[in-house]
Chains A and B, each alone.
Chain A
């Protein structure tokens, strides 16, 4: 099992639209709008890190109105 947290900045005012689109993606366990340095935080869990990479590169990063993403890969054994 591979886990990643993706911190997202999106265009102003489009947070809810982006959140709604992220929710539809397979492997997304959690997605929340946040105040602070980032706008949205998503937690993704997939069977392999390869699948995780595909989900982030091809699904999340393709969403319109997302300006930047920052990925934190979970470390096994540090939880």
Chain B
């Protein structure tokens, strides 16, 4: 199992729309689990995705998340599975 967190900056006023798009994209993909939360602070949205392995995860990020319009920037942080 691999897990990653994404810190997303949204174009102003597009936060709710991006959250909905992320959720619908992930529901249709083969992720094991996911969480999406809008936040106050330096980043606008935080997303957690767990998938079968790194390749599946990478594919989902490239093909689903990064294609969403009105995302200004996204930072990916892979979870270090050895540290729990």
Contact = CB atoms under 8 A, between A and B. Distances in A.
Interface of A: 3, 5, 7, 15-16, 19, 32-38, 41, 70-75, 77-79
B78 A74 contact: no
Given A19-B83, A78-B19, A72 B36 contact: no
Main secondary structure of the interface of B (DSSP, over half): strand
Classify chain B: how many residues form its interface, as a range.
Answer: 20 to 34
A75 B84 contact: no
A74 B37 contact: yes
Contacts of B82: 33
Contact of B41 (A15, A16, A71): A71
B42 A70 contact: yes
Given A75-B38, A78-B19, A78-B37, 9 more contacts: A5-B46, A32-B80, A34-B78, A34-B80, A35-B78, A36-B77, A38-B77, A73-B40, A79-B19
